[in-house]
Structure 1
Amino acid sequence: MRLINMKPDTRSDEMGIRANNSISKFIEYYIEPERRFDYAVMIDGPWGSGKTHLVKEFVKNSTVNSLYITLNGVSSTDQIDAEIYRQLHPILSGKGMRILGAVSRAVAKGAFKMDFSDGNSATLNASLTEIDISKELSNPGKRLLVFDDLERCKIPVGEALGYINSFVEHDGLKVIILGNEAEIKDDGDMTYRQIKEKLVGQTLKVSSPAGEAFEVFAELVRHPPTRGFLKRHKENVLALHRQGGRGNLRTLKHAMWDFEKIGSLLETRHWNKQASVLKIMNVAMVCTMEARAGVLDADVLNSLIDNAVARAMRLQAKKPKNRADEIDDRYPQINFSDTLLTAQMLGSTLLEGQINGPGLVAVLDASADYAAPGDSPLWKQASALFFADDETSERVTHELEEAFASHQFTLRGEILHVAGIRLWLAKIGMIPKEIDEVVDECKAYIDHVGRAAQLETSLDRPNEHGGRNIYGGYMMVQSNTPEWLSIAAHYDEVELTVAKEKYGSIARDLLEVLPTDPDEFLFDLAVNGVRRARYSEHPVLMSIPAKEFATVIFEASPEIQARAFATLQNRHAGRSIPSLLPERLWIAEVKNELEKLIVAAKPMTRYRLNQLIEEHLDPLFAD
């Protein structure tokens, strides 16, 4: 593993703090009432560098009267007028009211319109002295205007700066502009630099002293164990931020908060292993920083976590680096194959915001760091051999081959994990077999377990999440190779054969439960919001002769009849599932058999069943 200096860059931090102190001193000098300036001050820095925080902290500790206006998303100067007016007269910004148009220094012109939430408009006479903005701004020496997010303003930069210039040139006000000059585009015939020269007399570059910000952000962490851990590992946190924070202090703050999401779920026994928690913190912060930078998404995360083997083989083949490789290179101190939390759990927690405390604890407890000796599955031990010594590699490989020979794996995820691992071990010479031989052996293994009726099918397992090549939260080794895909396809074929052999008994059980528990009948057959429908994609019902099924429905109570028809419609309507198409033909046969029985039925039963057929079954054959 590559080495990296984990000590904080205190020299850089000290320089940044001194630079920001200098900015504060200049602002203090600039806003002194007795000093007259005919220019605005620009504070430049990237998004998240602390510009806004610096100025707001200064204003909070100062006696200057200030107005803070964000230009983010503003598309007209009227909106700025309205915001200035709102801050000067908050009573006019109450619920149900919006200030429209120019309500700034031109209020004295006579009147302005007010738009009420009920759609009615009214005119408010400007003779009210308490709303005279000109009067409010009559003492420029004691008033500071702060315009933030210049680069995110939708007004053309020339128009925006011209508007701001009127406060400086005509009203003599002190103005500070915050923005990221690197993102400001030229406007029309004049470049931003030309426009800026006419207005801005001093540009100050803000620095991002992460060490100072860390202390502030740490106090915002409410969970005491997480806060204490972050403080004890400040050097690690700042090293990660230097590598991936891109100078953005907001990213540092959110990375610490995201680790708190996980930290608040940990139990004492987890915190007792500090080195293990450090692994969790490292990967959590990396995920947050890279996601906020637009580099990491769910696919990249799956490729990054526990996929060192695939990355190593891809690089060995001299294939171009992908985003997961670049992230791996950016953080050389992190072993992304030993993060304790799976890609699936990290993605749901940090990218999707889904907090599953018991699930996260279960994943941790199954990891090598927290599992009891011998509890880690053999396939998981084998998938981690990339970082094992030779003795461990040989022992685990021998145990894996013995378990394979005795057909100990019956779950789809385990079998396909083992298939990928065996392909990899054969390629690197850990098992003396040709690749084609491994493929044939894996397919023969699947056939054997299938004949023994021990093969797991989709009837037995929950719905898959995160992709067919992920199991237990881990991506399967070699799952992008033709050899592995061939084995997986063979599993699907055998699985379907095994499943079909179970359709008859399943259908009989469903038919038996229908008269007494129609909800179970529905929940097992049709997609619903209560629980997984185990047979929603399996044509199990057609195992029952159409005439027999029609007779059961005909003899059932009216309520059961209605539920049965509704279940058939919900199961098929609006769904184009190839595996269910044969069952739709079976439904047509059931309909024909019912119509034969209806002929001899009494009036109410005949009417009800005809209505149910028309409402629930006929639409299935409308096309």
Structure 2
Amino acid sequence: MKNSVNQNAINYLNYYLSKANKNDFAILIDGAWGSGKTHFIKSYIKAKEEVRGEVDEEKYLYISLYGISSVGEIDDLIFKAAHPILGSKPALLLGQVFKSALKLGGNFDLNNNGSNDLKIDASVPNVGLSTFFNKSKDWIFVFDDLERCQLPINQILGYINYFVEHGEHKAILVINEAELLKQQTKIENGHGDNYLLIKEKLVGRTIKVSSQLDEAIQNFIEGVADPKQRIFLKKNTNLISAVFNESGYSNLRILKRVIAEWPHFLNQLPENIRNNESFLMGSLRSMLILYFEFQSGALPLTDIDLIIKSGYFKIYERNRNNSEASLDLESKYSFFKFEEMSPSIDCWKSFLIDGFFDDEVLKNSLRNSRYFTVDERKDWEKLWDYDSLTNEQFLELSDEVKKRFENNSITIEGEIKHIVAMYMFFARNGLISQTEDEVLAWAKSKISELVITEKIVTPKKREAFVENQYGGLGFLDPTNPKLKEVQKHLTLELSKKNISKLPECANTILGMINSNIKTYTNLVIEDTEYASLLRKAPVFSFINSESLVDILFKKYDDTLLIFSGILKQRYNTEAYNPDIEKERLWLVSLEQELDKKSKKENGLLSYRIEKFKKDVVVPYIAQLNKNKAAFEKKLDETKA
């Protein structure tokens, strides 16, 4: 529970559940299916019980409403949660005796304090088990899977409201609210108002949770019985994390299924194959990708034959009129090629559908697999796996990789960081003759050269560059401060290079506005490094204000309107951006040029200039000033 979103959720739960807090409302934990809501609340409960030093099973009553179709079933689940012994399978044999006892009347001690908390009289009508809990105000109810309950939502919430409003209990609702609203919209003919009205009465606070990936992976792996398989999975947690993040689905439930079925996958393989670690890593990557895509519904299982026949691996986006490839998985996932899947897609077809491999197809796949022929890994990847090398192989590879880096044959940012991390690790452990400082100086020098000569290849999306890994392989000793210094140096060098390009970019933008402003709007949304530079760097501060004003007001088309939209997209935010802040003075100069232009002109043209200045430029100057002041205030408060 380390991410900030979930820490906020924990803090609010602590506040809500404190005995000093007498709030008479429930709270709702919201998150998509597979986002880890259930894991989050169960981990929270477990942590609370461990802090107390004892497991008080009557403190938190966890109830899953999945598939529940009657209030009576909920009563039974609550009873079992409150009294696990009475609710156990052997005790169920005494169910009829217990019911008879209720009919005949009797005294019951509900909280084990030696007193009779509930007296049942044969003449009292059956009002359900909810009557029990008015005697135990400290019990906290956790209702999970509300969107999967078969009861009408108003009946479920009304039932829970009884405990909160009349029983003075605290209740936590765990729900995929987006899915529930979708269901209610269908039921209510396009509206979800009934649910929202009832929710407003019952729920006092909605809190969000998000995937706790690292913790979840470790918990899932601990569920694997075979120690050897656990070790393999733990060694490849970076690979698992990378594929999970690249999938974009944030579904921990699918990830849990992959790890749970990994032993079954291994058992399908011949004994000698299970020791080939490279093959297993490729298989794990393939299994993760296939499960994420197929089980999320992005790619139906029925399309496997089409995929095999067409010879490429794509997700199909369907609508009523056509079916066309919209997303290439080889681009979506790093180090993934359809032709090099392990085992082949033909094998995975039978495994995904039936849970086993076709023996003959598997044999053919293994016979043709690259993992059992020639090692096609790059030299730096082989060096990364230094534990598998002989001393001679290590010396040969470390020398070869160094030469390739020095002659600019290695230019991909992630590969460069791997190489620097490896050589620092080797230096610190006395495996090479250089010291860490010498490796640091060498790395900085080569990076500067690659940036200046524009040979370095950076990721299209900076957010896709995961801090502690690249290509599914974790950096050796990623917490090494010298490695962070190298990354900082690279960022600085790239920034300096970008700044040197800005005057030229500004002239290009001015030319686009003059000829066809839509050329700029189309360019800036592209997924390219140049477009990213236009969006994020203070390039507008290099645009000549006087020239811009002349261009804008000599045109009588939609240029001015579109340019106003460009400024809105750039400045209409309350977030402080130190790079965009540099354009504040440019906006001031633009305002001054507009004043000059307005005074020279008259009539309708002067009116247009003044309106643009008043409605667009002046408000954004004020917004940037406000953002800067808020940032400086927060900075001062932090220092204090």
After TM superposition, the score normalised by the length of structure 2 is 0.46
